[in-house]
Amino acid sequence: MGSVSSVEESIARSYGAEAENAAQVKKDAETKKAGNYGKMIGQPKLSDKAAKYYEELKKKFSNMDFILVSADQKEAAKAQAGKFANPVKTVVLIDEEKIEKMAEDEAFRAQYEGIIRKASSGLDKMKKSVGSNSSVRGFGMQVNDNGTTSFFAVVDKSLAAQRERISRRAAEKKENAKKEEKKAEKEKQAEALEEHRKPGSADSHCVTVTASSIEELQKKVDDILYSVRSDSLRTDAERMWGQNIDFRL
């Protein structure tokens, strides 16, 4: 009889523990609240403990620009990533669920802070490689659920083309200053006409490049800049090819 009673008590304790855990989860969910967490996508809610940790995280990585994403907007955030890129700080998109778990689980926290630190270092090196006078408007990363990161960069193709033209003109000017002066004036007039025809704002010239690694991101950015550079080396006649019809025939 004693052993039966012991089993019943064990079962009762087990059920009691499960009920207590369920009650705690419910309580934690109820205490989560929307707040001013800085830049956000969606309407993320954090518990007080997670909110406090999130502020500490932002201070620890003060060289980065954190954006908190609600759980229901994680996929949508990928499509919006380029909108948040800026030339000063690397953007970090991180969702509320990870912040909650990082606040509670020290091992999980160490893992993901390590991921952020490693990615930050890699993107900083990439920034230096493209230079301060770059056509890349900004870099960013998104912390994924599987312990990986996605990376993105926003490239201003019109700015890249402009800088390539300026560089090319400078080289040509050294060879023949007088000829270059006349050519620059013609190109200036052509650019003014082209700008007048362009729809929308300068943002329409920006391309958001995404990648699963920094190496892949570097290659994609280089490919875009190379494409712009190649196009800028085409002559005016080549650029106009197929765009005009000679009605004198």
User: CA 99, CA 44: separation in Å to the nearest integer?
Assistant: 11
- How many Cα atoms sit within 13 Å of 142 on the Cβ side? 25
Average pLDDT over residues 65-76: 93
Mean pLDDT, residues 110-136: 85
Choose the weakest-confidence range: 64-73, 81-90, 108-117, 143-152: 81-90
Q: Span 195-210, mean pLDDT?
A: 58
Tokens of 45: 């809610």
* Better-predicted residue by pLDDT, 172 or 225: 225
Query: Any idea what DSSP says for residue 235?
Result: -
Nearest C-alpha neighbor of 90 from the set 63, 117, 113: 63
Domain ranges of the chain: 31-157+204-232
Residue 66's pLDDT is: 96
- Does this model's pTM top 0.75? My answer is no
Res. 72: pLDDT tops 90:
yes
Angle between helices 48-60 and 96-104 (to 10 degrees): 90
- Residue 70: pLDDT band by 50, 70, 90 thresholds? very high
Check pLDDT > 60 for residue 68. yes
Phi, psi (rounded to 5 degrees) for 48: -60, -40
Q: Which position has the higher pLDDT, 192 or 30?
A: 30
What confidence tens digit (pLDDT) does each residue in 139-171 have?
999 999 888 899 998 888 765 445 444 455 545
pLDDT digits (tens, 9 = 90+) for 15-43: 665 666 555 555 555 567 777 899 999 99
CB atoms within 10 A of CB 40: 17
- Is pLDDT of 242 > 60? no
